[in-house]
Structure 1
Amino acid sequence: MLTHPQFDPIALDIPIPLLDKHLQIHWYGLTYLVAFGLFLFLARLRVKKPWFAQAGWTARDVEDLLFFGVVGVVLGGRLGYVLFYKPAYYASHPLEVFAVWKGGMSFHGGLLGVVAAMAVFAWLRQRHFWQVTDLIAPCVPTGLASGRMGNFINGELWGRAADPSLPWAMVFPQAGPEMMPRHPSQIYQFLMEGLLLFVLLWIYGRKPRGLGQVSGAFLFGYGVFRFIAEYFREPDNFLGLLALNMSMGQWLCVPMILAGAAIWAWGSRQPVPTVAAGGRA
C-alpha cells in the first residue's frame, strides 16, 4: 500500500525583491501549459496531412484554434461545473461563479465550451464544423492526460476505497482522517482517457475518414473510458451516487457515448477525402 507523496502545489516560488513579493507558479497551471503546448505540436502535424493541407489548413490556423479552444474550455468548464454540479449553491451565491481561484471545473462543460468555440471558428473561417473537430480530436487526449497528472499532484479527485492488498492502493491524507487505501483514479484516467485514447485516435486519424468519424470516435472513446474510470473515482460528496448507482460523471458520459456512436455512423456514409497524386496518407 502506498501513500500519496503530498507534493507542494507550488512548482516555482520566484522572489521579486523590488516589490517585496513572490511570483508563485502552481503545478496545475504548468499542466495547462503542457496541454496547450502538446496541442500546438500535434495539431501542426495534423495539418500536414494531405487531406488537410489540400483544404488549405496551415500552422497559423492551429494557433487561432488554440486561442478559441482556451476560451471555450475555461468558460465552458466553469459554467458546466456551476450548472451540472452546484446549481442551487451558485443560484444563492451568484458572484462566486466568477471565483475561479476557488476551483470547480467540469470536463463535460469544457467540452461543450470547446464545441461552441469551434462552431464560431468554423463559421468565421467558412469551414465545415466536422472538419474542424476532426482535425483537433486526436490532439485533445494528451491535454486531458496532463490535467489528470495535475489532479494527482494536487492530491484531488481521489478514488474510492480499495482493497489494502492492491499493490498500488494509495492513502490520500487529504481525503479524511480515516486514512483508508483508495484507488489512484487520477492515474487510471491519465492512462485510459489520456494516453490510450490518444494512441487509438492518432492511429485511427492517420488515414482519411468520413466527415465526423474521428470526432465521433473521440466522443465515444472518451465517454466509455470515463464511464469505466468513474467506478473507481470517489463521487462528489455533495452529490454522491445518483439513479442506478451511477455518478454524475457517468450520467454525463451516456449522451457522449450515444452521440459519438451516432456521429461516427453518420460519418461512415460521408465521402472520404481524396489525396491528390503524389500525396502521402
Structure 2
Amino acid sequence: MPLLLIDFPSFNPVAVAIGPFAIRWYALGYIGGIVLGWLYARALIKNERLWAGGSPISLSQIDDFILWVTLGIILGGRTGYVLFYNLPFFIEHPAAIFRLWEGGMSFHGGFLGCVVAVMWFARKNGVSILSLGDITCGVAPIGIFLVRLTNFINGELWGRPAAPSLPWAMIFPTGGDVPRHPSQLYEAGMEGILLFIVLAVMIRLGALKRPGLILGSFILIYGLTRIIGEHFREPDAQLGFLWGGLTMGMLLSIPMLIVGGILIVWAVRRGAPRPAEAVR
C-alpha cells in the first residue's frame, strides 16, 4: 500500500438531528443546488445584455418554475433509478419505491424529469422551451457539484481499485480494504466545477442569444464527463459491468453525446432570434 494512503474521513451523513427527525447532507445537497441555481437563474434573467432583445422569461415565471423543476428532479430521479438500476428488486418490493430517505436517485432519470418539466411549463406559460432549457442547464452544475460532494460524505458510489502508488487513494468503509479512487470528487470536479465554468464562459460570450446552445452544450459535455468518470467509478453491485465492459452510466450517457451535438449544430445554424421573436 502507498505510504500516503488516505483513510476515509468519518463524516456523519446526518447534518442535523432533532429527536427522531434527521436532515441528511444528501438532502441538503439537493436543496442547496435548487436554491443556489434559482438565485443564479434570476441573475441571468435580469442581465439583459446576455439576451437577444431581453430575456424571454420573466422573474415571476422562473420563481414559479422552481416547484416544477424540483418535482421533475425528484420524480424523474427516483423513476430512473428504479427502471435503470434496480428494477428486479423494486418489482419484488414495490413499497420500497417510496422510501426516498434510503437513497437511490439517477441523474439521467432526473434529467429526463427536468426535460418534461421544462416542456410542460414552457407550453403552459407561453415561453421559449429552448431558452428555459438553457437557463435550467446553465445552473444545473451547481446542484450536481453539491450532490456529488454529499455522495463522498456518505461514503457511497466510491471508485474502482486504484494503483498502489496513487497517493490520494482511499479506503472507504463499505469498499473493503482495497485502496480506491475517490471518484465522487472526480465527478464533482468534472460534472460540477468544470461544466459550470465552461457554460458560464459561454453565457458571458453570448450563448443565451442562440436558444438551445447552452442546452446542447450541457448535454454533450455532461455525457462526455460522465463517461470519463465511469472509468474510475465502481459499477453498481446489482448490475456490474455490461456489454464490452460498459457500465449503465456509460450506456445512458452515449445518447446524450448525439442529442447534445445535434442541438449545438442546430442552434448555431439557426442563429440568434430577432428582437421581436425573443421577447413575447
Q: Which residue of 1 aligns with 2:13?
A: 9
- Once the two structures are TM-superposed, the CA of residue 199 in structure 1 deviates from its matched residue by 0.3
TM-score by length of 1: 0.91
Alignment deviations for residues 135-161 of structure 1 (CA, whole Å, 9 cap, x no partner): 221100011000001000000000000
- Once the two structures are TM-superposed, the CA of residue 165 in structure 1 deviates from its matched residue by 1.5
The answer as to 2:213 corresponding to 1:213 is yes
Q: Which residue of 2 aligns with 1:125?
A: 125
- Once the two structures are TM-superposed, the CA of residue 261 in structure 1 deviates from its matched residue by 0.4
- Once the two structures are TM-superposed, the CA of residue 55 in structure 1 deviates from its matched residue by 4.0
**Distance in 2 between the 1:121 and 1:203 partners?**
27
Q: Within 5 Å, which residues of 2 pair with 1:158-177? A: 158-176=158-176
TM-score by length of 2: 0.91
- Secondary structure (helix, strand or coil) at the match of 2:15 reads strand
- Secondary structure (helix, strand or coil) at the match of 1:24 reads strand
Q: Which residue of 2 aligns with 1:197?
A: 195
Runs of 4+ more than 6 Å apart: none
Letter in 2 for 1:36: I
Letter in 1 for 2:187: Q
Alignment deviations for residues 195-244 of structure 1 (CA, whole Å, 9 cap, x no partner): 00000001112214422111000000000001000000000111111112
- Once the two structures are TM-superposed, the CA of residue 128 in structure 1 deviates from its matched residue by 2.2
Letter in 1 for 2:152: F
**Distance in 2 between the 1:37 and 1:204 partners?**
22
Q: Which residue of 2 aligns with 1:28?
A: 26
Letter in 2 for 1:138: G
**Distance in 1 between the 2:257 and 2:21 partners?**
42
Unmatched tracts of structure 1, length 5 or more: 15-20, 277-281
CA contact (8 A) 1:159 1:232 kept: yes
**Distance in 1 between the 2:43 and 2:58 partners?**
10
Identity over aligned pairs, percent: 41
Q: Within 5 Å, which residues of 2 pair with 1:72-91? A: 72-91=72-91
- Once the two structures are TM-superposed, the CA of residue 194 in structure 1 deviates from its matched residue by 0.3
- Once the two structures are TM-superposed, the CA of residue 102 in structure 1 deviates from its matched residue by 2.0
**Distance in 2 between the 1:101 and 1:25 partners?**
10
Structure number having the greater helix percentage:
2
- Once the two structures are TM-superposed, the CA of residue 93 in structure 1 deviates from its matched residue by 2.3
- Secondary structure (helix, strand or coil) at the match of 1:37 reads helix
Alignment deviations for residues 86-118 of structure 1 (CA, whole Å, 9 cap, x no partner): 222222322222222222110000000010011
- Larger RCO, structures 1/2 (Cα 8 Å, 6+ apart): 2
Letter in 2 for 1:181: P
Letter in 2 for 1:88: P
- Once the two structures are TM-superposed, the CA of residue 127 in structure 1 deviates from its matched residue by 1.5
The answer as to 2:54 corresponding to 1:54 is yes
Change (3 A) 1:53 1:34: farther
- Secondary structure (helix, strand or coil) at the match of 1:12 reads strand
Q: Which residue of 1 aligns with 2:65?
A: 65
CA RMSD, 1 decimal: 1.7
Q: Which residue of 2 aligns with 1:256?
A: 256
Question: Which stretch of structure 1 is more off in the superposition, 27-36 or 67-76?
Answer: 27-36
Structure 2 residue corresponding to 1:45, chosen from 40, 43, 46: 43
- Once the two structures are TM-superposed, the CA of residue 173 in structure 1 deviates from its matched residue by 1.8
Letter in 2 for 1:248: M
- Secondary structure (helix, strand or coil) at the match of 1:173 reads coil
Letter in 2 for 1:30: L
Letter in 1 for 2:42: R
